[in-house]
Amino acid sequence: MTVNVYIFSMSATIKEIAEQAKVSIATVSRALNNLGNVKEETKKLILNIAEELKYNSNIAARRLAKQQAKIIGFVLPEIEGEFFTDIIKGIEKEAYAQSYHVIVVGSHSERNIVESILNFMKRSLIDGVILMIPSLSEQIKDIISASKIPVVIINGKNEANAVDTVSIDNYQGSYSIVNFLIKNYHYKKIAIIEGPSNNNDALERFEGYMAALKDNGIKPKDDWMIDGDFTSKGGELACSRLLSLLKKPEVIFASNDVMALGCYKVINAHGLKIPDNIGVVGFDHISLADLVSPHLTTVHVPIEEIGQEAARILFERINGTAKGVSHLKISTGIIVGDSCKIQEAN
Amino acid sequence: MTVNVYIFSMSATIKEIAEQAKVSIATVSRALNNLGNVKEETKKLILNIAEELKYNSNIAARRLAKQQAKIIGFVLPEIEGEFFTDIIKGIEKEAYAQSYHVIVVGSHSERNIVESILNFMKRSLIDGVILMIPSLSEQIKDIISASKIPVVIINGKNEANAVDTVSIDNYQGSYSIVNFLIKNYHYKKIAIIEGPSNNNDALERFEGYMAALKDNGIKPKDDWMIDGDFTSKGGELACSRLLSLLKKPEVIFASNDVMALGCYKVINAHGLKIPDNIGVVGFDHISLADLVSPHLTTVHVPIEEIGQEAARILFERINGTAKGVSHLKISTGIIVGDSCKIQEAN
DNA sequence: CTGTTAGCGCTTTCAC
DNA sequence: GTGAAAGCGCTAACAG
């Protein structure tokens, strides 16, 4: 690509192209948009001139005429986290492939999620929107169902409503790592630190844990199911409880990595060694899982893929090629670190 | 705010308002845009009707007429990092205050930065752009200088060119933490693990280190200045080198947190204790700095503020209120963790 | 103060 | 195949 100043010199309009090609603007429009009904010859001529003039269509004008924005929106939740970047990247990638742009709005002190969404939907600013929200309020549900533009929700519990959703397959991820602990490491005494009780991810992860135990003939033990809150401090507290038990577990499944790190801290403070004295596994595969020592064994969540799939589904709906409501579950994988150790048969 | 279905029902146009108010569309436009020259009475009437009709201006139409997009762009670099989210949040916050929207484009396998930028600037899509790039190629410089729309660069070395920049005050951050190590903890033997030699941040951090030593009458020691590359592995290697020296330093200043974590790993592996046997400090204050134990003492970088300031400067330029080229340095702060210990006088 | 009117650049009928 | 012309919804002179 050659970069030169002309690119910015007041991009040519179809009118100018029409003049040079000695045709009408209608023909230019047709040629440029590949609408057929244009003689090959004139079309080539027009395309050449357009190229020469470094023509770029004026997006606002096209939008006005077509009543279509070629923009989708992404509403950021209020919560913090390192993963938005990746989600945005995924969305943007797909949007690029569809020649769409992505507008990002956030919710913050001066504005709540509802307002963000509404502001988006009104004014014919965008053609579709991706929402990332921990839970759907009634108000938001109303907005969505009244909305004229397609909506895809990331990580909402798919409450069988008519909205497309994309979410992590927490159940599968949880099941497979617990199963892995049993089958591969021969762990039998597996504790879990749960997430917030009102959090859907946390709930599904717990269910996966229970199912894996059951399928392996292991009886769950109440003492080994501790409440947590997805924070480091919460992990520490829960871990302390577990270490103070008379019958300690052999391994702790923290239902997110941040809590697993809390466990690391407490276990070290107790003068114990991971994985020799006790194993730890997490869920999420946040970047620091690979930075701590020993490396954390955890469930990998393909974050960028979530964004990309959400966008893909949104475009299916925008383009009218969707064939029913999607509730996509993104599968996870296992990252094998050094925080677990094969147990001798006993 | 009351949410109801009407919001989405084909937003009214100024024409409809004009009909109901029995005035011309021009008057409606004036009233809506607060342009004066409208009798208070009619204005109130118009505003009422607009409210009633849930009027929302059609953005595309306004853009076309005003030749102004009310959108700014943000170009994501190819590099990874947890901080984009915060930067975007900062930008979006400021944009919201100015009633602007933010479009995000990324650079990835299918598209390089140059292409992203060009695509942005052409087509009158946006009114200004914020670029986040590690270094300015000649090509990009050309594009920027030819550009008709304002550009603000985040984290570029401000090469005295005419472009506004916002960057971290690496020198000050580095100087102050090293100074803090000396003044507060009485460290005298301070090693540094440098960043990549072609990285401007790394260079400035090194200079801050040197200056702080000098101002405290401490002579730098070649053995204690080790090359690094901002990766965890690089931190490990450098730390190993330092621990193998006959004359070991008392504390290691890793010029970013990730390398500091590499040090943690090696120091633990050597059976040494932080901060009893050796201290460690970092730079960046990434989220895991607070999750490891002992908590890392490091330099805090206010990331969201960077985005917000970049946007603020961009709007100054868009609105024509800028008074010369800005090269803003964002000051850092010190996060006191537990990875350092006061040294006894010796 | 208010109305008329000419665009902004593009798409899209409807004739020819 | 191609052109003329009517908008899309809004802004901004220009009259009055």
| DSSP string of A153-181, one letter each residue | EES----SSSSEEEEE-HHHHHHHHHHHH
What backbone phi and psi angles, to 5 degrees, belong to A34?
A: 55, 45
Q: Are residues B307 and B162 in the same domain?
A: yes
By C-alpha to C1' distance, D7 is nearest to A65
Q: Are residues A278 and A312 in the same domain?
A: no
Q: Which runs of E-coded beta strand occur in A107-163?
A: 128-132, 151-154
- Alpha-carbon gap, residue A307 to A63, rounded angstroms: 25
B271 Rama class: left (phi>0) / alpha (psi -120 to 50) / beta: left
Q: Are residues A257 and A233 in the same domain?
A: yes
Asked, for residue A340, whether it belongs to a domain, the answer is: no
Nucleotides of D under 7 A from a protein CB: 1-5, 7-13
Q: Are residues A66 and A141 in the same domain?
A: yes
- Inter-chain touch B8–A60, beta carbons under 8 Å: no
Q: Could you say which of A4, A11, A105 has the minimum Cβ distance to residue B92?
A: A105
In the prediction, which pLDDT does B9 show? 47
Q: What single-letter amino acid sits at A55? A: Y
Q: Are residues B271 and B309 in the same domain?
A: no
Provide the angle, in degrees to the nearest 10, between the axes of the packed helices B14-21 and B25-32. Answer: 110
Own/partner contacts of A60-69, CB < 8 Å, gap of 24 or more, are: A60/B60, A60/B63, A60/B64, A60/B69, A60/B124, A61/B64, A63/A124, A63/B60, A63/B63, A63/B64, A64/B58, A64/B60, A64/B61, A64/B63, A64/B64, A67/A124, A68/A127, A69/A124, A69/A125, A69/A126, A69/A127, A69/B60
How many Cα neighbours within 13 Å face the side chain of A158? 18
Asked, for residue A341, whether it belongs to a domain, the answer is: no
Tell me whether A245 touches chain B (CB under 8 Å). no
Asked, for residue B342, whether it belongs to a domain, the answer is: no
| Residue A64, C-beta contacts closer than 8 angstroms, at least 6 positions apart | B58, B60, B61, B63, B64
Task: Return the percentage of chain B with pLDDT > 70, whole number.
Answer: 92
Q: What is the DSSP letter of A38?
A: S
Tell me whether A110 touches chain B (CB under 8 Å). yes
Number of domains in chain A: 2
Written as tens digits, the pLDDT of chain A (346 aa) is 333 433 444 578 999 999 999 999 999 999 998 887 899 999 999 999 999 888 888 888 988 898 888 889 998 877 666 678 889 989 999 999 898 999 998 877 777 778 777 777 766 678 899 998 767 778 888 888 888 889 999 976 766 578 899 999 999 999 999 999 999 999 999 999 999 998 888 999 999 999 999 999 999 999 999 999 999 999 999 999 999 999 999 999 999 999 999 999 999 899 999 999 999 999 999 888 888 889 999 999 999 999 999 999 999 999 888 888 999 999 999 999 999 999 986 5
The residue among A225, A283, A284 whose CA lies nearest residue A254 is: A283
Decide: residue B108, CB within 10 A, 0-12 exposed, 13-18 middle, 19+ buried.
middle
| DSSP string of B251-269, one letter each residue | EEEESSHHHHHHHHHHHHH
- Alpha-carbon gap, residue A334 to B191, rounded angstroms: 38
- Alpha-carbon gap, residue B229 to B235, rounded angstroms: 8
Q: What single-letter amino acid sits at B108? A: H
Decide: residue B322, CB within 10 A, 0-12 exposed, 13-18 middle, 19+ buried.
middle
Q: Are residues B176 and B243 in the same domain?
A: yes
In the prediction, which pLDDT does A126 show? 87
Q: Are residues B21 and B155 in the same domain?
A: yes
Asked, for residue B207, whether it belongs to a domain, the answer is: yes
> In which element (H, E) is residue B4 found?
none
B 18-47 residues, CB < 7 A, strand C: 22-27, 30, 37-43
Q: Structural domain of residue B125, as residue ranges?
A: 14-167+303-330
Residue A131 token pair: 């929402």
How close B96 gets to chain A, by Cα (Å)?
Answer: 8
Residue B61 token pair: 């139409």
- Inter-chain touch A60–B58, beta carbons under 8 Å: no
Residue-wise burial string across A75-92, b where 16 or more C-beta atoms lie within 10 A, e elsewhere: bbbeeebbbbbbbbbbbb
Q: Are residues B121 and B184 in the same domain?
A: no
Q: Are residues A271 and A282 in the same domain?
A: yes
Q: Are residues A27 and A153 in the same domain?
A: yes
Asked, for residue B343, whether it belongs to a domain, the answer is: no
In the prediction, which pLDDT does A174 show? 98
- Inter-chain touch B76–A88, beta carbons under 8 Å: yes
Q: What is the DSSP letter of B198?
A: T
Residues of A in contact with B11 (CB under 8 A): 122-124
Asked, for residue B344, whether it belongs to a domain, the answer is: no
**For residue B86, what is the domain's CATH number?**
3.40.50.2300
Residue-wise burial string across A177-186, b where 16 or more C-beta atoms lie within 10 A, e elsewhere: bbbbbbeebe
- Alpha-carbon gap, residue B78 to B75, rounded angstroms: 10
In the prediction, which pLDDT does B146 show? 80
Q: Are residues B218 and B130 in the same domain?
A: no
| Over residues B142-148, mean pLDDT | 82
Residue-wise burial string across A99-111, b where 16 or more C-beta atoms lie within 10 A, e elsewhere: ebbbbbbbbbeeb
Share of chain A residues as helix, strand and coil, in percent rounded to the nearest 5? 45, 15, 40
Residue B261 token pair: 């974590």
Q: Are residues A200 and A123 in the same domain?
A: no
| Over residues B308-313, mean pLDDT | 96
Q: What single-letter amino acid sits at A17? A: I
| Over residues B56-79, mean pLDDT | 85
